[in-house]
A and B are shown apart, each in its own frame.
Chain A
Amino acid sequence: MKEQSLNIERRSATTTPSPGVRHTVEVAKLIDISKCIGCKACQAACMEWNDIRDKIGTCEGTYANPADLSAGSWTVMRYAEVETKDGRLEWLMRKDGCMHCADPGCLKSCPAPGAIVQHSNGIVNFQQENCTGCGYCITGCPFNIPRLSPDDHKAYKCTLCSDRIATGMEPACAKACPTGAIMFGSKKAMLHHAEGRITDLKERGYRQAGLYNPAGVGGTHVMYVLPHADTPELYSGLAKDPQLSTLVLFWKGIAKPLMGYSLGLAVLTGIFHYVTVGPNEADEDETEE
């Protein structure tokens, strides 16, 4: 048996159930946007821990560096200059990366058995050795996070440092964050911490402050405290109400089991036909050709 350091809750393209007796603590990362100074220590720590080094890119007009997520950059700071409703100019920063949804669109759309797994503590992880590089996870993700590597044609994204969490440590980004904008703990503790932060922000005049833990994907294991929670789009296009794609739900939810049953039915019909009617005799002259 392979060594197993985290329990598997769900596995892509697999019908056999996962072992589900052990219940582990659900973990979460809370990103408090109001405390973030955009220093990118999280990016540096992520690259260092995960042994990934992205290519040097070009400036796209903001402080974002690199300009977008890639197979070599699993987290990217995004910067947006926006005018708020009350006419103020605000510089809004957001640490972009995998949200580790409770109902992951990537896992549902993945056709490769075991290429995407969900651990019982909430982490959604890509197993590159099982990945076929089809890119369906990118289509299925409501946050546009996974990226295919041009080098090995496999999909990569944030692992929530599953290797660290498996040994009881915190993710590299959360540990490095010098302002404490990234917090890590049990999901329960993070929800509690967020409550305190939101109360504080509301007292300071951010009446729309709130938690970003979207129900459309069953809640996430990376949550944001947003000073403008009523308009998450301000934060470099954070989805207001992320939903799993209807196409994914149809093909993987309804069409796939239906196809499985019809396939089985076809085989059964074939056997039944063979037993009752018998094989179709070939003509003598056709065989001689």
Chain B
Amino acid sequence: MQVTRRQFCKICAAGLGGSSLGVMGYSPDEVLAQAHAFKLSRATETRSNCPYCSVSCGVLIYSLGDNAKNAKSEIIHLEGDPDNPVNRGTLCPKGAGLLDMIQSPNRLNYPEVREPGSNEWKRISWDQAFTRIAAHMKADRDTNFVTENSTGLKVNRWPTVGFLASSSAFNEVGYISHKILRGLGVVTIDTQARI
């Protein structure tokens, strides 16, 4: 197509005029805009407790997927549990930022042991961990268990071991912890909830 200089100028002017009209707001645009899609619509909601301090606020944990066999879950959001009487939906700054703790690369995900004399942490299985703890407990209890006090009265005391119970434990868990520990003869029992 042959375009003279004059015609070229005309085309440019028409184009500029047309686009200016659009810019000035003469183009009928759709008057629509959408708030961002709600990210939790079909996420799985799980009730849990904040692990940070002894207040033990209730939290709702939201994870990807609906627990279907082929869906690998991942925690995507976390907020206060409005039905928990402790915090009624509120959280402190640490609790509100729990997601980053859950996803932290520094988080401990499995049992580790540092043997006496060693300066290295070694990964062990849960079975090994429980066996090791039980063996240590038994050895200590066999050595230090007290059956009689100074007046000759029969007692059931294991004075060399103390126990710090979780503050997130509810009444039933507290009852069971107490039964087991007193049964073993543990005298010093405390809970983080008291701190």
Contact = CB atoms under 8 A, between A and B. Distances in A.
A64 interface: no
Interface stretch (B87-95, B122-130, B141-149, B187-195): B87-95
B25 A15 contact: yes
B32 A178 contact: no
A39 interface: yes
Contacts of A130: 33
A2 B93 contact: no
A16 B93 CA distance: 44
B34 A40 contact: no
A256 B26 CA distance: 12
A54 B6 CA distance: 55
Contact of B31 (A14, A123, A289): A14
A58 interface: no
* Size class of the A contact interface (CB-based, 8 Å): 35 or more
Interface residues of B, number: 40
A234 interface: no
Contact of A177 (B34, B90, B100): B90
A127 interface: yes
B37 A163 contact: yes
B97 to A, nearest CB: 4
B93 A40 contact: yes
Interface in B149-188: none
Contact of B77 (A11, A49, A113, A180): A49
Nearest to B32: A2
16 contacts: A2-B30, A4-B34, A5-B35, A6-B35, A17-B31, A39-B92, A43-B93, A44-B97, A113-B25, A163-B36, A165-B35, A176-B80, A176-B96, A178-B87, A263-B20, A263-B24
Interface of B: 4-6, 17, 20-21, 24-39, 41, 77-80, 82, 87, 89-97, 99-100
Interface of A: 1-6, 8, 11, 13-19, 39-41, 43-45, 47-49, 53, 113-114, 117, 119, 123, 125, 127, 130, 159, 162-167, 172, 175-178, 180, 256, 259-260, 263, 267, 282, 287, 289
Closest 6 CB pairs of A and B: A44-B96, A162-B35, A44-B97, A45-B96, A15-B25, A163-B36
